[in-house]
Structures are given as structure tokens and as C-alpha cells.
Amino acid sequence: MDAATMIVEGQAVLGVELGSTRIKAVLIAPDGTPLASGGHDWENQFVDRMWTYSLDAVWTGLRECYAALVADVESRYGVRPTSFAAAGVSAMMHGYLAFDADGELLVPFRTWRNTTTGPAAAELSELFGYNIPLRWSIAHLYQAVLDDEPHVPQIASFTTLAGYVHRMLTGRDVLGVGDASGMFPVDPATRTYDAGMLTKFDGLVAQRRPDLHLSELLPDVLVAGQEAGRLTAEGAALLDPTGELQAGVPFCPPEGDAGTGMVATNAVAPRTGNVSVGTSIFAMVVLERPLATVHHELDLVTTPLGDLVAMVHCNNGASELGVWAELFGRFAAALGHPAEPDAVFGALLREALEGEADGGGLVAYNYLSGEPITGLAEGRPLFVRTPDSRLTLANFMRTQVYGAFGTLSLGMRVLAAEGVELDELFAHGGMFRTAGVAQRLLAAAVGAPVAVARTASEGGPWGMAVLAAYLGVAAEQDLPTFLGATVFGDAEVDVVAPDPDDVAGFSVFLERYGAGLAVERAAADAL
């Protein structure tokens, strides 16, 4: 079937992901082949010392994103879609969206970037014997209880951004198990919330909030391959005000961007892992066994099937690199040589390979926001050099890339000390469009081979579409088989092993990076 016929007959599959800086929709064939895409740029806001997005911005962005997808389809194939074989929504994980019994938002959306939940996270981690990160939904809820926030008695439900959008489109209050595991700990044996921990939480809040029963507030949990509802007429109108989109499209469980990253890199089996680089950066490693010790640097979440995953989540990723690329791009334009942003970014990344292995004595921090792994409540982007360091463009750019991977490397070294072994680490995100640069330096930072597939730049939205496509074959195939045989069967994959000189140089840089955290803390205090 040619692409135009597939689209007209509603056999194509739609995936949408609400990332931190971009909402993107991807249309694929049932075997994962990309057909079209559309996007909408957006930014979080810092309001009353909270990182947030308004719900109006969510729906404006989704509508513009979907309209851009339809326009791309029409431009490529001369047709307009009215239905799909399946669809799915994913979004940045964690955070806090609390609603009353009428479905009204009680407080502005609190995103994963907020680091105001320290007391709650620490108390819950001790109670459960399980690391509860600052950004998890349960940490936000319990912090609201501790702070006696007025909205708490009115809470009828709370969820993630993907869960909220999915509920508005389908009427179902559900989550995929991977996204759910960033709300509250999941028991891999049952593929749902840990019953013992639910009981402990209710006991913890019994005196303050005797009417608060956590299991009544959380979304139901589903695993990949289960139908999670169908597009309602109201949901279709929200996404496509033109009225062309028809109700009835089956939806897969909504997932977090960590889960879609795992699917997008075919990293859902034990001893595999992936690194997703965007506004944040995180590594996911599928475990063969539970960890022996609780580590604040490591989160325990799950794959979209519910298998246990160790996650190293860093609040700060490639955004600071993007700022420097904009600055150098403007400089080129001022000289009369304007260039496309991708060309500027690519040239700067390639220059990094010409730098000294340790970055020439320079150090950089990409901390636009706080970073829990290194114990910082707030961030200040920082570049520091000593009088005897060697400031060249190549060293500067290598240091900026190293800085983007610095916190990740600290977390991965904790994982290695636990005896966790990796056969291969798959990387994805726009940073890997420039072949061989970020991939090579990431291999040095994590000490493992890094693989990049041809679909790496498609990222999470494509992974979400693949999860939606899996709905059609879940009765006959498990997810790893579907990914391995159908989606990645003939994928072009480039693997780069760690270069010994890069590894040695990065180790020297990381020592300097660790020592310089005192400067970063001072900057956050002083500025």
C-alpha cells in the first residue's frame, strides 16, 4: 500500500510527544517507517518561583502541532488524514497536575524542573526504603500536604502531563506503567503501584489528612499493548478544530518521554540502555536484578512493559549548548555570513573533536535549573578557566559537550559500582544529528559503546507512534520481538566504542568538574 492510500484509509499511526521545548507529532506506517511530522515550539515559564506551562499553552501547542502535521501530509502526499489505525500521547515525565471532582486544575502545573520538594522526598525515601526523587508526583503531593496547601482537601485526582492530555482526548484516567512509575513506586511483579508503599503513605498522612486515600487519586496503570480508550468526539475537536478528525481512534497507554526513548532506541531488554538528550538528559538501564542499595542518584522506574529500570536523570541537558550556538550564529551573521542553526550547531560540535582530550583545563556547567544529583537547588550556567588553561574554540566546545554529560557520568559511575553491566548504550535526540561527535564524547563519559540508529533524531514522538503501532500486533508478539523484527530489523546502526585517550581526558575533566561544584554553589548563592 502506498503512503497516500494508507493515510486516506486510516491505516497510518500517530504519535505525539509534549517535550520541554517542542511539541511534536509523527505519522508512521505500521512498521515504523516515518511518513510525516509537525511541531510547535514552546517554553516553560517561571511563575511564583515555579516552573510551569499553562493548560491553554498545552492545547494551543497541540492544535498547532497537529495542524502542522496535516499540512506536511498534504504537502507530501496530496491528501489529508481523517483517522488513524492507532494513536498515543507521551510527555515529559513526573511533575504534578492536581484536579478537583469537576476536573478543574487546582494549582498551576508543577513540572519536573521544580526542586521545592526536598523535605517530602527525603521523608518518603526513608519511609519506603526506596529513592523518591524531587520531581516525582508523589513528592509534590506530599510536599503540598506538609505545607498545608489550601488545595489539598479538594484533590480528586492527580496525574502527569501525558495522563492529562490522554484523559481529555479519550475520557480514560489511565497511565502507561513507565509513566506511572514516575508518579509512585511500581512493583515489577504486579505491574502496578506497590501496595505496601500505598498503605505506608496513607498511614503517614492519616493524622494530617485522614480522608486522603492515595489509591483513589492515582490513574489506573496499563502496560504496552493494552488499549487505553478511544478518541472521543470532544477529544477530536480539541486536537483538530476543523472537524476533519473523526472519533474512534484506538489509543495505547500514555507514556513518559523516558519510555518512548527506550522504544525509540530498541532498549527494552536487560543489559541494554539508552541516553536521551534534550532539555534534560537521562540514561535508562534495564536491570537484570534489583539494586542492592538505595542511591539518591538513581531512580527506579520501568519499561513500558513494567520491567525494572535504573534511571540517571539530570535536570539539565543540551539547552546551554543551544544558547552558545545561537550566540556564535549571531556572530557569523554580524560578519555577513549567516548560517542555518543546524549548520552552526554542527560546525561547533565538529570543532569539539579538535580540542584537547581533557578540554584544556576549562570547566563548564550547564545548570539552568537545580540539579538533584549534585545537590543543587538552583542552577547558574557557568564557564570557568584558570590563568594557565588553554582557551581555544575547540577546547571551549569540547568542554561544553563534556559539561552536558558531566552530571550523567557521575550517576552512571554509581550504577557501575553496583555491578550493573551494559552491552550497549543507545543514544537519541537532535544532538546526534551531527554524526560521530556527541556519540564519541558520550562513549568516553559513560565508558561504554554508544550506538546511534538512523531514527535517532526522530526521538520520543516516533517512539510513541511505535508504541501505538504495537497495539495492532500485541496479541501475537511481545514488544521486544516487534521492535527487533519489524521496526529495527533493517535499521542502520552506528556503534562507537570509547576511545582510550578520550576516556582518560574525560576522567581528568570530571575531577575538575567535581571540584568546581563549590564554585557553582557559590554562584547560585551569590547571583
Q: For strand 424-428 and strand 450-453, is the pairing parallel, antiparallel, or unpaired? A: parallel
By DSSP bridging, strand 363-365 and strand 382-384 are antiparallel
d(C-alpha 152, C-alpha 143), whole Å: 10
The grid cell for 236 is: 477530536
* Cell 564557564 belongs to residue: 383
Q: Is 283 helix (H, G, I), strand (E, B) or coil?
A: strand
Homologous superfamily of domain range 3-255: ATPase, nucleotide binding domain (3.30.420.40)
* CATH architecture for residues 266-455+497-527: 2-Layer Sandwich (3.30)
Q: Is 489 exposed, middle or buried (0-12, 13-18, 19+ CB in 10 A)?
A: exposed
- The pLDDT of residue 383 is 97
Which mean pLDDT values do the consecutive 10-residue runs of the chain (527 residues) have?
Answer: 95 96 96 96 92 97 98 98 98 96 97 92 96 96 97 98 98 98 95 97 96 97 98 98 98 95 88 86 90 90 94 92 96 97 95 97 96 92 97 98 96 92 82 86 93 72 97 95 90 90 98 97 96
Please tell me the distance from the alpha carbon of residue 378 to that of residue 382, in angstroms, as a whole number.
13
Supply the pLDDT for residue 501: 97
Query: For residues 476, 481, 487 and 491, what is the CA-based torsion angle, rounded to 10 degrees?
Result: -160
Q: Which cell is 25 given?
A: 507529532
For residue 265, what pLDDT is reported?
86
As separate numbers, helices (DSSP H) first and strands (DSSP E) second, the chain gives 17, 22
pLDDT at residue number 458: 64
The predicted pLDDT at position 456 comes to 54
Query: Which class for 405: exposed (0-12), middle (13-18), buried (19 or more C-beta within 10 A)?
Result: buried
51 Ramachandran zone, left/alpha/beta (phi>0; psi -120 to 50): beta
Q: Where in the chain is the domain with CATH 3.30.420.40?
A: 3-255, 266-455+497-527
- Max Cα distance, the chain (Å): 68
- Grid cell at residue 334: 554580524
pTM: 0.84
Residue with C-alpha cell 520541554?
20
Q: How far apart are CA 120 and CA 149, in angstroms?
A: 14
Angle between helical axes of 393-417 and 341-352 (0-180°, round to 10): 70
Cβ burial of 60 (10 Å; 0-12, 13-18, 19+) is middle
In contact, 43 and 35? CB cutoff 8 Å: no
Q: Would you state the cell numbers that stand for residue 110, as one nine-digit string?
A: 508543577
Question: Strand pairing of 272-277 and 281-286?
Answer: antiparallel
For residue 116, the number of C-alpha atoms closer than 13 Å in the C-beta half-sphere is 15
What is the C-alpha to C-alpha distance for residues 126 and 123, in angstroms, rounded to an integer? 5
